[in-house]
Amino acid sequence: MPSTTSAARKAALKDITSVRLPVVHVNGDASKPTSEYFGINTFGARQMRAKLPKEVFNKLTASIRLGKKLDADLAPTVAQVIKEWAIARGVTHFCHWFQPQTGLTAEKHDAFLAFDDNAQPMESFSGSQLIQSEPDASSFPSGGLRATWEARGYTAWNPASPVFILDSAGVKTLCIPSVFIGYNGEALDEMTPLLRSSDILSARSMELLELIGDKGVQRVFTTLGPEQEYFLIDRGFFALRPDLVMSGRTLIGAPPPRGQQLEDHYFGGIPERVQACIAEVEHELYKLGVPIMTRHNEVAPCQFEMAPIFEETDIAVDHNQLVMATLRRVALRHGLQALLHEKPFAGINGSGKHCNWSMAINAENPELDGVNLLKPGKTPHQNLRFLIFLAAVLKAVHENAGLLRAGIASSGNEHRLGANEAPPAIISVFMGEMLTRLIEGMVEGKTEKGSAAQLLIKLGVAKLPEIEKDNTDRNRTSPFAFTGAKFEFRAVGSSASIAFPIVLLNATVAGAIGELTERLRTELKTTKSVDDAVLKVVRQAFKESEAVRFEGNNYSEDWVLEAEKRGLLNLRRSPEALDQLVTKKSRALLADLGILSREELESRFHVRVERYVKDMLIEMHTLSQMVNTLVLPAAFSYFGRLAEAASHARSAGISIIPQIDAANEVGGRIEELRARGSELGVVIESAEAMHDNLQKQAKFLTSEGADAMASVRETCDALELMVADESWPLPKYREMLFPV
Ligand code: ADP
Ligand code: MG
């Protein structure tokens, strides 16, 4: 008596096994070298130079390069050439593409269609349509901001990010990357604070550079290379799992006999079907100008990673959104489902997004232009500069670890941080052996006497060797690691928009740079040589931030104890981490730097706590429905079969009736599940009754809510291992993670 759902499982398996070899939908470009079509769906520098009058092009690129606003008189000319370019490529509509606080992107399409004086249809796209648009903003999360200020929102083009054409099912739309702000300039999106944080980091860094004698710097910008992890599983199985469809992760599922212990997936060959999908994702991204560089298998079965060549941060953030959206979209064409959730499968590695981050210089002086501030140099001066920026980052992370932890807090990442596979919730910094020795040498102050030049030589800082990646990259357990010429913020979740974590990182570093600059100014009143003064400031900063440096195994129990002794925060749950956003210190930092006003920060806090509550409630309702409509019916039906068989055996006078024991075991678990399921229902009701107190609700859900879900899961997973395979309605881990 196989149930219809198990028949569906079988059908899904049949579909998969009958799939023919991969079809690569690469629109005929496949035979061309990548460089020929890279960026053809964007209107970037190359296209602009060809199409715009030279003077307009120069002004536009200058404004982009210097991060300045676009001159309004340029807009009509730019709009005109963009329109011609887009129409020639078959585009009919345009939209302002922006990033509200949903973690995703939003767009509202308008046609190029207009009518001339004789009522004749024509294509039209004005300068003001390019620059500004007014979407109906009322349904985006604003954390109460709009309600307080009665402000409607509008979107404005961010010319630093090139416009692009999104091709979905052959429908081509011109997307204009934009910020989303209220009428009084309040930030309603992810991009606005990011741009503000870049500006202030630039200003603070320039002051410091000026002071240490690096003149003529036009701008300091940050670079970002996000490594995106994700799973690809069969769409047929995905569709049969309400938990994956509703919440992005499996809420139940017994562990398979083989997980990742054979360690055979990491860097193994990519299966052909998946390869076809990934190649097509990359192909679409190349056309959008996203420089995807690496692809490889990750640790868990069916888990992969895709990483671009690093770019300037705001572009990298836009591009990461395109990476996530393209993965989701293209996978469907291959009968696959991309899972971007941080922890789709319990007991199997989760997914993160390592954010490789550094700071670099724009300058007219060719010796300074393009210099990476976090890369050791060749001269003593360059190395002092490197050390003071390094010291600023250490100080920033040490003093604001809680705030950085808050930036990565979400319901999904909660399952990942602290599990024995991902960086722990304790934020510490890994520096690598060579720099640790150097920093410790400086902190211990063995070489108190002498000029900076002599000290530098004694400390081995005058000439720093190129830091080998192998030297720095061995410790994969650190949440924040220095890897040669950049920091790698590894605790960021795979599904998250990386804008907010980077806003907070930029903010904390800008704050620390400002403080070190002040100290240096003071020091220069008594110390004549700039180098000597820098060295003193660097030493002190290294000393102060000592506690945040950790070279050991971040996954070990000992580290938790050690970190506590050092006074480092260990914020394991999202609500307590989010509280760090609204401490007095966080508020002051972000407001003083002009990144987020008190109200704007409050609204972000509200949006994030609310999102956490919504995620948890969706999971709990989904689980409850799965128990009642899938798991219990399957268990009842199997129980019935056992009972029936036992009764037949008894009537036939058979004396050994093992089905009785089996039925009793299943019956016991059924009773347990009914009890735990109703407890879950009670917890859901209590949580919902607290709706007027969001923070209380979040705290309740993260403890009682998570516990109730875990206890229901335990029983479901036990039942999965008892009930006949053919009666089990849900695709199992074995099936989803080990494609046949
Ligand atoms: P992995 O960390 O996987 O060993 P790499 O260190 O080579 O690989 O690079 C990971 C990512 O870091 C890539 O996206 C790369 O472009 C980026 N990256 C390299 N240098 C910088 C930098 N200066 N700033 C930001 N990102 C960088
Ligand atoms: Mg890396």
Structure confidence at residue 2 (pLDDT)? 44
Q: Is the CB of 486 under 6 A from ligand 1?
A: yes
Q: Is 298 in the pocket of ligand 1 (CB under 6 A)?
A: no
Tell me how far apart the alpha carbons of residues 204 and 341 are, in angstroms, rounded to a whole number.
Answer: 36
Distances (CA, A) of 458 to 441, 451, 453, 455, 605: 10, 11, 9, 5, 48
CA 657, 659, 662, 663 torsion: positive or negative?
A: negative
Taking a C-beta distance cutoff of 8 angstroms, is the pair 499, 103 a contact? no
Exposed, middle or buried: residue 63 (CB in 10 Å: 0-12, 13-18, 19+)? middle
CB of 43 sitting under 6 A from ligand 1: no
* Centre of ligand 2 from the C-alpha of residue 282, in Å: 19
Widest Cα–Cα separation across the chain: 105
pLDDT in tens, 59-86: 888 777 666 666 778 889 999 999 999 9
Distance from C-alpha of 47 to C-alpha of 317, rounded to nearest angstrom: 22
| Residue from 310, 311, 472 to probe ligand 1 pocket by mutation (most atoms less than 8 Å from CB) | 310
Taking the centre of ligand 1 as the mean of its atom positions, its distance from the CA of residue 271, in whole angstroms, is: 26
Q: Is ligand 1 within 6 A of the CB of residue 110?
A: no
Ordered structural domains, the chain, with CATH:
33-188 (3.10.20.70), 190-226+352-595 (no CATH), 228-250+265-351 (3.30.590.10), 609-737 (1.20.120.1560)
Note the pLDDT tens digit of each residue in 152-200: 788 888 888 899 999 988 899 999 999 998 878 889 999 999 999 999 9
- The encoded tokens of residue 306 equal 């895709």
Report the percent of the chain where pLDDT is more than 90: 70
Residue 212, pLDDT score: 96
Burial class (CB in 10 A: 0-12, 13-18, 19+), 203: middle
Say whether pTM exceeds 0.75.
Answer: yes
**Per residue, what are the HEC states of 648-700?**
HHHHCCCCCCHHHHHHHHHHHHHHHHHHHHHHHHHHHHHHHHCCCCHHHHHHH
Both structure tokens of 556: 């070990």
CA distance 612 to 595: 24
Mean pLDDT (the chain) is 90
d(CA 410, ligand 1 centre) in Å: 25
Whole-angstrom Cα Rg for the chain: 28
Of the two residues 246 and 74, the one the predictor is more confident about is: 246
- The predicted-structure confidence for 601-655, as pLDDT tens digits, reads as follows 999 999 999 999 999 999 999 999 999 999 999 999 999 999 999 999 999 999 9
For residue 357, which atom of ligand 1 is closest to its CA?
Answer: 25
Query: What's the 475 CA to ligand 1 centre distance in angstroms?
Result: 16
- Ligand 1, atom 14, lies closest to the CA of 225
Q: Tens digit of pLDDT for each residue in 460-507?
A: 666 666 665 555 556 788 999 999 899 999 999 999 999 999 999 999
- In sequence order, the β-bridge partners of residue 176 are 96
Mean pLDDT of 533-546: 95
Arithmetic mean of pLDDT, 23-33: 63
Q: What's residue 445's pLDDT?
A: 73
For ligand 1, is residue 309 a contact (CB within 6 Å)?
A: yes
Cα distance between residue 739 and residue 680, in whole Å: 33
The pLDDT value recorded for residue 1 is: 42
At 422 the pLDDT is: 72
* pLDDT the model gives residue 262: 66
What tokens does 123 get?
A: 């294509």
- Atom number of ligand 1 nearest to Cα 305: 3
pLDDT of residue 150: 47
